[in-house]
Amino acid sequence: MKIFDPTAAPSPRTVRLAPRPARLEGVRLALVENTKFNSEALLRKLGDRLGRRYGMTVSLVHRKRSPSHEIEEHVLPALQRQADLVISGIGD
Amino acid sequence: MTGSADTPEAGDPAALIEAYFAAGYTDGLPVVPPTEKSIADMLAGARLRGEAILGEIAGRNTLVTAEKAAINAVMAGCRPEYFPVVVAAIRGLCHPDFAYHGPASSTGGSAIVLIVNGPIVGVLGINAGNNLFGQGHRPNATIGRAVRLVMMNAMNTRPGLLDRAALGTPGKYSFCFAENEDGHPWEPLHVTRGFAIHESTITVYASNSLYQVYNQLAATPEPLLLCLADALANLGVPNVKGFNESLVVLAGEHSEVLRGSGWRRRDVQGFLVEHARRHVADLKRAARLPGDVVPADETTWRHVFEAPEDILLVCAGGRAGSWSACLPGWGTKWTRSVTMPIEGPIARGETP
């Protein structure tokens, strides 16, 4: 008799990370908020601090469909064009 | 067959069951140890090959194959003819509108509620009557259990890892029932969602609680529905933060009150949308909304639901007893219930 394995590991997917900014000063910042309470407030506060500390500018704020959904594919080109750095986070 | 290994205790059923516990493959209850034949029979029940892909959760790099689903269905105790229902449920979990990651992994700890409609209910003997949510019916118990085992084993939704439920619910073991389409006040759930009455479907819905609502005196819709609206808008209900779906299951006596009234489904939904509400002041005092209470909050309503179709009305349960049940949905429109067709001759009512 055998044990049959009912599990499945996640299927591997190669992800290429974007190059990291060489320096933080002056970069264009995009904020991706997930619709939870205080998500946008938290991220904007973070953007303000980074602006004061490094001269970053918030170039785009995107509101996801929900915390459960991935970021929409059609938003990615705008993020690539308009931002050097993206911060995504949650609130509650 | 992939992913199998010889057991050291070959031939000892009890040791084999223990081996599945030791491997971490069970939901805490003993499982039926699969064999080559039982897995093949399960796949044949849905006319599927093992390598068939039932669905994908892209954000979690998760692919569910028919073979893994079949192994879990055998473990759960399903008969092969139940497998088309399990397959349809998995396809529903993988539907983009269901948005699996949230309801599966949230601290909210949702049960996956499975509602079966159509001719397959009679063929398989899925309970739509007495003790609807309780024990005692093999298809109800094992179809729901199979789906949870698939989530745990084949979709990486393990407690403490990608299942972060703070409390969970007993419904996470299994939660499957059928709608009682006989003597229904209106058209059944799947017909409201575009399917024909002769088609079989499963509706997949995420809810982390269930509370029963009692009203033995209401002989007209208004008092009965006021009780339900109040239950749907309590201060702790997750949905107060926004708008989501809720499932209302009307058992026999309450269904009869509505059937005799002439109210349409839309009338009932509209009444609940209008009356499931709290004053903003109540919500602020309970810290369900941020900010200080201002005078206008005392008379400003915040409604729990946005639209009539956000309330799923299902008729099922025993004919006797003045009970119905509210099952609030998880999240705030971060997931939506999905109704999927069940495929194959059995779904058309043919006996296997």
User: What dihedral do alpha carbons B6, B9, B14, B17 form, nearest 10°?
Assistant: -30
Q: Taking residues B232-257, what's their average pLDDT?
A: 89
pTM score: 0.92
Is the minimum CB–CB distance between A37 and chain B shorter than 8 Å?
A: yes
Residue B55, CA atoms < 13 Å, CB-side half-sphere: 23
CB burial readout A48-69, b (16+ within 10 A) else e: eebeeeeebebbbebebebbbb
A6/B11 CB distance under 8 A? no
In this complex, the residue of A3, A8, A70 whose CB is nearest that of residue B5 is: A3
Q: What is the mean pLDDT of residues A4-15?
A: 89
Query: Is B156's CB within 8 Å of A10's CB?
Result: yes
Q: How far is B168 from chain A (nearest CA, A)?
A: 18
Distance from CA of B27 to the nearest CA of A (A): 12
**Do B9 and B16 meet the contact criterion of CB atoms below 8 Å apart?**
yes
pLDDT of B266 above 50: yes
CB-based contact A4 B1, cutoff 8 Å? yes
Instruction: Note the Cα B151 to chain centre separation in Å.
Output: 13
Contact B4/A5, CB-based, under 8 Å? yes
Query: B68 and A3 in contact by Cβ < 8 A?
Result: no
Task: Kindly give the residue spans of alpha helices, DSSP state H, lying in B136-234.
Answer: 138-154, 189-192, 221-232
CA–CA separation, B145 vs B255, rounded Å?
A: 28
> Do the chains contact at B334 and A7, CB–CB below 8 Å?
no
Which one-letter amino acid corresponds to residue B42? Answer: M
Angle between helices B66-76 and B138-154 (to 10 degrees): 130
ipTM attached to this prediction = 0.90
Asked if the model's pLDDT at residue A90 lies above 80, the reply is no
The residues, ordered by sequence, that sit 6+ positions from B3 with a Cβ below 8 Å of its Cβ are: A4, A5, A7
Interface test with chain A among B61, B105, B244, by most A beta carbons within 10 Å: B61
Q: Do B5 and A2 touch (CB under 8 A)?
A: yes
Q: List Cα–Cα distances, B320 to A38, B122, B130, in angstroms.
A: 47, 21, 9
Chain B's closest residue to A66, CA to CA, is B334
Q: B36: which chain A residues are within 8 Å (Cβ-Cβ)?
A: 2
Please tell me the least confidently modeled range out of A9-13, B69-73, B196-200, B325-329. Answer: A9-13
Which of helix, strand or coil describes residue B209?
Answer: coil
Range of weakest confidence among B68-77, B138-147, B327-336: B327-336
Task: Write the CA distances from B42 to A25, B182, B205, B269, B343, integer angstroms.
Answer: 61, 30, 25, 40, 15
pLDDT above 50 for B2: no
| Average pLDDT score, chain A | 89
Chain B contact for A54 (CB, 8 A cutoff): no
> Do B290 and A37 count as a contact with CB atoms less than 8 A apart?
yes
Of B86, B167, B175, B78, the C-alpha closest to B134 is B175
Q: Which of B333, B101, B156 is nearest to A6 (CA)?
A: B156
**Residues B99 and A66 sit within 8 Å (Cβ to Cβ):** yes
Query: Do the beta carbons of residue A70 and residue B338 sit within 8 Å?
Result: no
**According to the model, what pLDDT value does residue B215 have?**
96
Q: What does DSSP assign to residue B193?
A: T
Residue B129: helix, strand or coil by DSSP?
coil
Query: Residue B63: which of A3, A11, A69 has the nearest Cβ?
Result: A11
Predicted local distance difference test score (pLDDT) of residue B7: 53
Confidence of residue B12 (pLDDT cuts 50, 70, 90): confident
Nearest alpha carbon to residue A4 among B156, B52, B9, B39: B39
